[in-house]
Structure 1
Amino acid sequence: KQGGAGGKWADAAIVLKAVGEHVAPIPLAEAVLANWLLAKAGIGVPDGVTTLLDGDFKLVEGRISGTAPRVPWGRNANHGVAIIEGAVVLVPLDGAAIKPAINVAREPRDAVTLKNVSVTAKRAELPEDAMRLYGALIRACQMAGALNYLSMQSVRYANERTQFGRPIGKFQAIQQQLAVLSTQAAAAGLAAAHACAQLDRRGLDAGFEIAIAKIRADDASSIATAIAHQVHGAIGFTYEHGLHFATRRLWSWRAEFGAGAEWAERLGRETIARGADALWPHVTAR
């Protein structure tokens, strides 16, 4: 109905994981979420690149003013999508003031300032923290893909690199570390896929699963990146080797749309509010 392929979040999970696995330097994840938000509000999806505007904005009589400090691919985008007081807002960026910046992975994270820009805004049924929540989901999917790349690349390198007359992958200590890396990647992938499936199933009530996916991806990134660089040794730190394209993205993405510790604190507070007796029924019911 909106001109897309009619896919669900379970389908998007596969695509976003592939984007992360191939560390593709494109704003596809942002476009998927931005266009989904527009569709939820019944706003037509514009041509060109669309990104996410997560910042401090005011919407007055159809005009927006304010600043978003770290906009993904802001310099490359034709439009941005913001959520202001329950309304999804489509913002043209041709007149925006853009201050270029980058993250650790050297991806664009630009400051975008808007002054009295005319926009299209419509209310939609979304959670109060929709931008942060669904932003965490797309990052968890990308991180799952990047973690899978780390696992495959590290196993490949361990079987190619020889020391003491045999591949280092034949040493039990290396094998054990590779096993840990692979289990971390698998756990993050399952958590992200489950969160997407639950968003299709539960709609607005999928916040628990999304928080778990971001926490799991964050934890896995810390463990997996350390192991991958240890296995690769010095070559993994060179710009010419492809390992850093995944590890630096993982270090950047885990802080975006809420770090794992922030989501863990949120789940903790919600658990306390429900009471101890409600914890197990709440988890098993999902």
Structure 2
Amino acid sequence: MSDHNALQDLVADVLDSASAPDELCAKFDELGLFAVGIDENRGGSGGSLRDLAAIVEAVGFAAGSVPIVEFAVARWILAATPDRGVGHGAATAVLVDASAADVAAGPLTVSSVAGARAVDTVILWTNDGGAVALSTAGDGVVVEAGEDLAGFASDTVSASAEAARLVLDHSLDSHSVADRFALLRAAALTGAVRGAYALTRDYVRTREQFGAPLVKLPAVASGIATMRTKVLETSAALSAALAIGDGAEVDGTTSVLAARIVASRCASDAARMAHQLHGAMGTTMEYPLHGLTKALWTWRDADLPESEWSRRLGERVVRDGEPSAWRETEGSSS
């Protein structure tokens, strides 16, 4: 799996062919897209992390409602669990700010769980690197359907003290799952920034004011050029994060956290400029811009606050030294 254009074309076709979120999830699952980046001998679809990032970016470009990040991370966690491989039903993953011991015992309520109503298992990744599997069909477990700002399925899962849950014996590092969330979310944001830019660029090129396209106005031309820089920033940061190699591990790399932070900042900037350049047109229900910008705002704030990603980046640099924060490309001078 290496033709990223073909992968992204496939995702675009699937997103165009399915209208309801459950249809999308079923089609993505049928095609094995949630399991890309996982070795076939572990129940995955093969391919690399780059391939998965390309798929996620394509979903972001269209502001697709399929929870590709959460479902893919859940599959990856399960594939790293000796007693539970990929293929045991649909699963989603969420970061929880609690220890494994606290999550494994006693009542709990977890909000903002993507697609919980449509899966068999919710994987709760704890702040000390534990993984706890909770069956959505188990006794004492209630899933309350909800939506996030973008209108995507974002549910609340509650479990009583008596609800059965399984602490997974996995082989992942304590930081690896949060890092994978960071990288894939950066890919989704990169796609959505590109999508917002493409839509805005076409709008200012075709919409006329005083007998000429809007882009002929200096202020508009400057604005669309600035939006283009946001596309380049996010793409460069994501490329740097993926330049660690085509393996599946991203743990411990400052470039991954930097990509997440850059993508968040560019998401805010791109959404604001897109609406400024569209004016009132950008807020109408019939026009697709609001779907992209709401996705940008939703994914920007997903998983952990931007300030927490920044704190983690600072901790990595302190731990590994300042040189760890810089990359020297081949052929560059020192």
Same fold (TM over 0.5): yes
Greater CA drift, 183-192 or 261-270: 261-270
Contact 1:10 1:200 in 2 (8 A): yes
Any idea what SS the aligned residue of 2:42 has? Answer: coil
Any idea what SS the aligned residue of 2:158 has? Answer: strand
Cα 1:197–1:117 shift into 2, 3 Å: farther
Deviation at 1:78, TM superposition (A): 2.0
Matched, 1:25 2:65: yes
Aligned residue number for residue 122 of structure 2: 80
Aligned residue number for residue 203 of structure 1: 249
Greater CA drift, 242-251 or 83-92: 83-92
Deviation at 1:168, TM superposition (A): 0.4
Superposed CA deviations along residues 119-161 of structure 1, whole A, max 9, x for unmatched, are 4443333332444332222211111100000111111111110
Any idea what SS the aligned residue of 2:95 has? Answer: coil
Matched, 1:99 2:141: no
Any idea what SS the aligned residue of 1:110 has? Answer: strand
Deviation at 1:104, TM superposition (A): 1.2
Contact 1:86 1:124 in 2 (8 A): no
- Aligned residue identity for 2:303: F
Deviation at 1:200, TM superposition (A): 4.2
Cα 1:35–1:206 shift into 2, 3 Å: same
Greater CA drift, 90-99 or 15-24: 90-99
Matched, 1:14 2:54: yes
Any idea what SS the aligned residue of 2:152 has? Answer: coil
Identity among equivalent pairs (%): 27
Aligned residue number for residue 112 of structure 1: 157
Deviation at 1:243, TM superposition (A): 0.3
Q: Structure 1 regions of 5+ residues with no counterpart?
A: none
Deviation at 1:59, TM superposition (A): 5.3
- Map 1:243-254; keep pairs closer than 5 Å: 243-254=289-300
Paired with 2:79 and 2:248, the residues of 1 have a C-alpha distance of 18
Cα 1:86–1:216 shift into 2, 3 Å: closer
Contact 2:43 2:79 in 1 (8 A): no
Tell me the number of residue pairs that the alignment of Structure 1 and Structure 2 aligns: 282
Q: Structure 2 regions of 5+ residues with no counterpart?
A: 1-40, 330-334
Any idea what SS the aligned residue of 1:203 has? Answer: coil
The answer to which structure, 1 or 2, has the higher relative contact order (CA under 8 A, 6+ apart) is 1
Aligned residue number for residue 54 of structure 1: 95
Task: With the length of structure 2 as denominator, give the TM-score of the two structures.
Answer: 0.76
Matched, 1:181 2:227: yes
Indicate which of 226, 234, 259 corresponds to 2:272: 226
Aligned residue number for residue 69 of structure 1: 111
Task: With the length of structure 1 as denominator, give the TM-score of the two structures.
Answer: 0.87
